[in-house]
Amino acid sequence: MAERKEYGGAHVRREEPEHSAAPKKRGAEKKTAPAQPDERPVKKHSQEKKAAPAQPDERTQRKQSRASAERARRRERFEEGLAAAPEAPKKKRRPSAKKRRRARRMRNTLIVLLSLLIALIGGGLYAGASVSGSTTNLPNVYLRGIAVGGLTEEQTEARLKAQGWEEETSVPLTVTLPGEVQFEVNRIKAGAVLSARRMAENAFRYGHSGHWIADLSSYVKAMMNPVDLGEISSALDGTYILAQMQSGLDAFDALKAERGGYTVDKERELLRLYKGADALRLDRDKLYNAVVDTLLAGDTALNYTALEGEPIMPDFNVIYQALAVEPRDASYVPETWEVVDEVVGCTFSVEQAEERWNAAAPLGEVAVPLTITYPEVTGEQLRSVLFRDILGTQTTYFPYSVPNRVSNINLACSILNGIVLLPGQSLSYNETLGQRTEEAGFLPAGAYSDGEVVEEVGGGICQVSSTLYCAEVMANLETVNRTNHYFRVDYLPIGFDATVSWPGPDFVFRNNRDYPIKIVAYCDTVERYLTIEIWGTNVDGTHVEMRNNGVYTVYDPVYTATAVGTATTTYRDLYDAEGNLIATTQERYSDYHKHAEDIDWPPEKYAADAAAESGEAEVMFG
C-alpha cells in the first residue's frame, strides 16, 4: 500500500515494500510462530554446501530493473520534498504504567507537602499576628538580669524602679580634670543609659514591631534562650556631652588664669606657684573620646590627667628681686596725715625654689618657704587709732531763739562739721566761717555789739563758738585766742563762753596732740540744741574737766561800793585713765558787765555824770 503525505505543498508518496510484513498490534509482544514439523528447515552441517539461488529470467530482470529505477526516482523526489517541507513532528511515545504510577505518587506527595506548607505559613502568620498584638513583653525577657517577661509596660517600669533602677541610672558621670576641676555628665541625658520608662518601652518593643514574621522570630528566640535587653540604648547625644565638657574646660581655663604667676602666703610664709599653669592645656578631642568611652563602659567616674604642652620654669631671680625687702613700719605723711602702709620683710632661697619646681608634677603646686619679718606698726593699726576717741564734747540749748538765730546756728555747725586739724595746725573761727553776710546764707538776729543788744547779720553764731571753745578745752587742746562776751550768756556757765565778731575778736585754738583731730558738729533744730565733739586719739586715757572758781562781784573803782559786774577764773583739771587728778591748769579770767539798768549807782555818780556832760570830767569804766 502507498501513503500520501503533504510536506510544504509537495505531494510525497511512500510505498511499502511488497515483502514488508503486516504491522504488529500495539502492545503485543513479538513472537515467532513455530514451524510445522514437515516444514521445519533442517540445518545442515557446515560441511554441506548451500544450494545456489535460481537465476531469474530476462523478463524478470527487466521488470526488477524498472522497479529499481522507479524507486530511485521516488526516493529522489521524496528527499527533495523533505528538504523543502518542515520536519514532521515525532509521534510521542506513551509512558509505561510504572512511570505513570511513580508520577501519581510524586504528585500526591507534592500536594501533601504544599498543604502542610500552607498550613504552616498560615499558622506562623497567625502566631506572628498574635505575638505582635499582645500587650505584654515576650516571655523569657530580662533587663540587666531583672525578669520582665510577660509584664506590661507599666508593670515593667514599676519592677525596675522597685529594683533601684532609677537610683542607679541617676548617678552622673563625674569627670575630674587636673587641678581638681570637675564637671558632671547626666548619663540619661547623654544617652548612655535609659530611664526606667524608656527601658520598659524597649522591652515591650522587642517582638512588637508590627512585622509578623520578625516578631514571630523574636518570640521563637526568646522561647529557646533568655533574652537580656539591658544594653539597649539610644545613640549618645554628642551636643549635650560637649556642652557639659565645655563647662569643665572653662573652669579649667579659669583655674589656670588664677594660678598663673605667683602669690605670697604671708600667713603660712610660702611662695606659691603652679607648674606650667601658663603653658599646659587640655586636648578637647581626646577628652571627648575619653568621656564617650567611659559612658559606654558604664562607669560613673573619670580621672582625666592628660595635659598638652611643656612647663617653663620662671626666673626665680626676678621674683626674688621683686619680693626681697626689709621690713618697715607704717607711718603718716606729715603734710596730709595720710597713712603709709607698712612693708613686710621677705626673702627666700632661689636654689630651693628651682629644686621644688623640678620636683613638682605638671600643674602641681610649687610651695617655696619664705622668711617673713613683720613690722611693729601696721597701717591698720594707725588707721584704727585715727579719730578713735571722743576727746571733748559740749552741748548747749537755744529753746527760745527766733527762727533766724536758729538758722544761723545750724549754718555754722554745718561749716564746722568734718574739719580735720593735723598735729600743729590751728583753727580760726572767723577764717573758717568767713564774713557773715546774707550772700553767705546768714540772717539778721540779736547779738551783742559795743555793749548793746542789736540786730546783726549772723546773730547767734557766738553760741556755736562758745560751745566749740568748751569742747576744745576738754579735749586738752591749746587755746590761742579767746574773748569772753561783754555780758554774761545764759547757755553756758560763767567763763565758758567765747565771743566772736567780724573782723574781731576771733576765737583760735591749735591741735597740740600727736594725732589728727576731727570736729563733729550737729544741730537739732526741732529740739533746739547743738553738740560739738572733737574726735582724735587718746593714747594714755587721760581726760579734762573744765571748772571755774565761782562767781565774784566786780565793783566800780571809784564808787567802790557799787557792783558793776561779775568775774570768774576757769581751770583745766587733768585726770588719768583711773580717774586720778594729775594736773590743774588755769585757763582764762573772764569778767562781765551788768546791764546799765541793773546797776544801782549812788547819788554822787549822777552828779558826776552831769558834770561830765558839761565837760568837767569823764570817768572811764574799766
Over residues 208-258, the pLDDT tens digits come to: 777 767 777 887 877 788 887 766 555 788 899 999 999 989 998 888 887
At 259, list the grid cell: 594660678
Residue 300 lies in a domain: no
CA distances from 273 to 264, 311, 436 (A): 9, 12, 65
Asked which of 327-331, 410-414, 613-617 is least confident by mean pLDDT, the reply is 613-617
Q: CA 546, CA 493: separation in Å to the nearest integer?
A: 10
Whether residue 368 is found in the same domain as residue 425: no
Q: What percent of the chain is modeled with pLDDT above 90?
A: 43
**Per-residue DSSP letters for 447-492?**
EEETTEEEEEETTTHHHHHHHHHHHHHHTT-EEEE----SB--SSS
What pLDDT score was predicted for residue 419? Answer: 94
What does the pLDDT look like over 571-614, one tens digit per residue? Answer: 999 999 999 999 999 999 999 999 988 999 998 888 888 887 77
Residue 14 lies in a domain: no
What does the pLDDT look like over 514-545, one tens digit per residue? Answer: 889 999 999 999 999 999 999 999 999 999 99
What pLDDT score was predicted for residue 534? Answer: 98
What number of CA atoms fall less than 13 Å from residue 270's CA on the CB side? 11
More confident residue, 317 or 26: 317
Q: 127 falls in which pLDDT band (50, 70, 90)?
A: low
Domain that holds residue 523: 386-550+571-597
Whether residue 151 is found in the same domain as residue 260: yes
Whether residue 230 is found in the same domain as residue 350: no
CB neighbour list of residue 310: distance below 8 Å, 6 or more residues apart: 276, 279
Q: CA 45, CA 610: separation in Å to the nearest integer?
A: 232
Highest mean pLDDT among 5-19, 67-81, 182-196, 276-290: 276-290
Whether residue 376 is found in the same domain as residue 423: no
Q: CA 500, CA 477: separation in Å to the nearest integer?
A: 19
Residue 244 lies in a domain: yes
- Which whole number is the average pLDDT over 480-499? 95
Domain closes at, from 273, 291, 325: 273
Domain closes at, from 273, 290, 322: 273
Q: CA 28, CA 47: separation in Å to the nearest integer?
A: 39
Residue 588 lies in a domain: yes
Q: Are 130 and 216 in contact (CB under 8 A)?
A: no
Whether residue 160 is found in the same domain as residue 247: yes
Whether residue 397 is found in the same domain as residue 375: no
Residue 135 lies in a domain: no
Highest mean pLDDT among 18-27, 84-93, 338-347, 460-469: 460-469
What does the pLDDT look like over 371-390, one tens digit per residue? Answer: 988 898 899 888 888 899 99
Residue 56 lies in a domain: no
Q: Are 496 and 546 in contact (CB under 8 A)?
A: yes
Helices within 327-421 (DSSP H only): 350-359, 379-385, 403-416
Q: Are 464 and 409 in contact (CB under 8 A)?
A: yes
Whether residue 223 is found in the same domain as residue 371: no
Number of domains in the chain: 3
At 96, list the grid cell: 509505561
More confident residue, 7 or 156: 156
Whether residue 222 is found in the same domain as residue 257: yes
pLDDT at 302 over 70: yes
Residue 325 lies in a domain: yes
Q: What is the pTM of this model?
A: 0.48
CB neighbour list of residue 171: distance below 8 Å, 6 or more residues apart: 187, 300
- Which whole number is the average pLDDT over 406-410? 96
Rounded mean pLDDT of the chain? 82
Whether residue 428 is found in the same domain as residue 537: yes
Domain closes at, from 353, 368, 384: 384
More confident residue, 532 or 263: 532
Whether residue 368 is found in the same domain as residue 408: no
pLDDT at 21 over 70: no
First vs last C-alpha separation in the chain: 204
By CB atoms closer than 10 A (0-12, 13-18, 19+), residue 245 is buried
Whether residue 322 is found in the same domain as residue 435: no
Whether residue 185 is found in the same domain as residue 328: no
Closest CA to 409 of 533, 535, 504, 528: 528
Residue 411 lies in a domain: yes
What does the pLDDT look like over 134-173, one tens digit per residue? Answer: 788 888 788 777 888 888 878 887 887 787 677 777 789 9
